[in-house]
Each structure stands twice: as C-alpha cells, then as structure tokens.
Amino acid sequence: MTAAIIDGKAFAATLRAKVGELAAAFEAKAGRKAGLAVVLVGEDPASQVYVRSKGKQTVEAGMASFEHRLPAETAEAELLALVEQLNTDPAVDGILVQLPLPKHMDEQKVISTINPDKDVDGFHVISAGRLAVGQQGFVPCTPLGCLMLLKDRLRSLSGLDAVVIGRSNIVGKPMAQLLLAESCTVTIAHSRTQNLPEVVRRADIVVAAVGRPEMVKADWIKPGACVIDVGINRVPAAEEGKTRLVGDVDYAGAMAVAGAVTPVPGGVGPMTIAVLLRNALVAAYRNAGLALAA
C-alpha cells in the first residue's frame, strides 16, 4: 500500500483563489482594499525572500500590501513607533513583523506592541491566550495550515490520537491547541521525550515540527496514520556542491506505511503564506465590522 500524497501546493492555490474572491467582495462592501503591512528589519536573505513573496501574493489576492524595510541598525524605539503608527492606520488590517529581528531588539516587546486585532501572525500573547481558551483571535499560519490539510483529508478529527513533535510557540504549541479543540487526544513530544518512536507509534495523526532531517522513521508510524511534515531542512544533494530540501520525516519510508503524507517541498510550506492572506482578510472583515461569508 502506498500513502496518499497531501498536495499542499494545490490546496494553497485553492485557498488563495478563495481569499481573492472574498477580498474583491470586501472591497465592494468597504470601499477600500483589505491591507496587510509587512515590516522587515535588516537584510537577512531568507527573510527578504519571504517578505517579497508575501507582498507579491498579497497584491495578487487583490489586497493592498504595505512594505516597510528598515536598516539593521534601526533603534528599537523607531520600530515600536512604526508599529504604533500601523496600529492606528485604518488602511492597515494586518501587521506582520518579520522574524528574526536584529539581536539588539526584544522580539517579544515588538510583537506585544502590535494591536491583537491586527496580529495576523498570531504571535501576540493575547492571540496565544485566545487560542488556549477558545476565543476568537488569530492563529499562527503554519499550524492553522496543517489543521486545514488534516481536516480536508480526515474530515472529523474527533477522538483521534495526535502526536505533535516540537513545542515551539510558533508551531508545536498552537498545533497542539488546535488539535485539542478538534477533540483529539494530544501528546506533545520534545527533545526530552522518552522513547519517542513508541509515542509516535500510537498516533493516528503525526505532526513533525522539529528541524531534524528525516528524523521520523517508517517504523515509528502507525499503519494508515496521517503524517504532516512541517520541517524544512537543507541537506547535501547527491550531486557535488548542490543541496536539496527534506522534511523531518523519512518521506519514502513513511509513504510505505502511512495513510497520507505531506511532501517537502510542496506540503505544509505553501500553506503558510496562503493562510497569512486568509488571516489578513479575516482581520479586514472583523475590523470593518462586516460579516465574512464562508
């Protein structure tokens, strides 16, 4: 038996198209475009790629993109002042400060300055608290994208055993909260977990968010389980001097055992920006006091 491949790229394209339709409806109702502001401090090459991609996809979805690029040596107070200004700007529905920030800045302080109603990344402590207690708020994009893929594949998640490997604030913890809210029995595993293979073997749903190439082996996986691989790891390719991307799961091995698996690349990765656009649009509807159909 070969597992089904969960096509995150196709799902993300459908989600972006839906966001595009809702963005057009928003513009017709509100008389302005939904707006997403992205702030980049410094010249981190990976962050530059993400920010460019976010801006491009925001515009393609029919929303307004406000890009703010600040030099690496910007004072923290200046960044905080920009965030405050975006908080009160009626054209801006969502604010994203690209992480990591330069070392001299306190990331938590900066994130805490964002108005939680514009916190489309879902990293504010108020957003984390709202998720934990089941109130309406914003959920971090990557775990929300994972949940969408899981629900599309499995429909109801109720009563299933889920193991999340990784407990970061941006992936592991919110993922566990989302699965709990879907009535899964959730285990959060991490670097101190004992006998991880045995823990994973119990799971109907495995979400791997570790950052260790191909760590999860085929014989850790329960036959028929649904495996979501969040990891993005660059490893040397067979061809000298070249690299390739792999996930946290031994993909070929998992394909022989699991019921469904997300590939890397093309699984969770493309979902993140699509969900960001969705979060920004949801923010626009909420901030304008409009009801969001569907």
Which of 32, 69, 167, 202 is in the footprint of ligand NDP by CB under 6 A?
167
- CB 111 to ligand NDP: min, Å: 15
Given 119, 121, 204, 248, which residue is catalytic? 121
d(Cα 20, Cα 254) in Å, to the nearest integer?
35
Annotated binding site for NADP(+): 166-168, 232
d(Cα 196, Cα 189) in Å, to the nearest integer?
7
Given 57, 93, 98, 118, which residue is catalytic? 98
- 3-state SS record for the chain: CCCEECCHHHHHHHHHHHHHHHHHHHHHHHCCCCEEEEEEECCCHHHHHHHHHHHHHHHHCCCEEEEEEECCCCCHHHHHHHHHHHHHCCCCCEEEECCCCCCCCCHHHHHHHCCHHHCCCCCCHHHHHHHHHCCCCCCCHHHHHHHHHHHHHHCCCCCCEEEEECCCCCCHHHHHHHHHHCCCEEEEECCCCCCHHHHHHCCCEEEECCCCCCCECHHHCCCCCEEEECCCEEEECCCCCCEEEECCECHHHHHCCCCEECCCCCCCHHHHHHHHHHHHHHHHHHHCCCCCCC
Q: Which is nearer to ligand NDP, 127 or 272 (CB)?
A: 272
Q: Which is nearer to ligand NDP, 86 or 275 (CB)?
A: 275
Amino acid at 156: S
Q: Which is nearer to ligand NDP, 110 or 141 (CB)?
A: 141
Which of 22, 105, 128, 171 is in the footprint of ligand NDP by CB under 6 A?
171
Which of 268, 276, 281, 284 is in the footprint of ligand NDP by CB under 6 A?
268
Which of 111, 139, 164, 209 is in the footprint of ligand NDP by CB under 6 A?
209
Residue 263 interacting with ligand NDP (CB under 6 A): no
d(Cα 212, Cα 224) in Å, to the nearest integer?
23
Q: Which is nearer to ligand NDP, 64 or 179 (CB)?
A: 179
Taking residues 127 to 166 in sequence order and writing x for each that binds ligand NDP by CB under 6 A, - otherwise, the string is ---------------x----------------------xx
d(Cα 124, Cα 131) in Å, to the nearest integer?
11
- CB 229 to ligand NDP: min, Å: 9
Taking residues 189 to 208 in sequence order and writing x for each that binds ligand NDP by CB under 6 A, - otherwise, the string is xxxxx--x------------
In the window 270-289, what residues touch ligand NDP (CB under 6 A)? 272
**Is position 121 annotated as part of the catalytic site?**
yes
- CB 46 to ligand NDP: min, Å: 10
**Is position 98 annotated as part of the catalytic site?**
yes
Which residues lie near ligand NDP (CB under 6 A)?
Answer: 142, 165-168, 170-172, 189-193, 196, 209-212, 230-233, 268-269, 272
Active site positions, annotated: 54, 98, 121
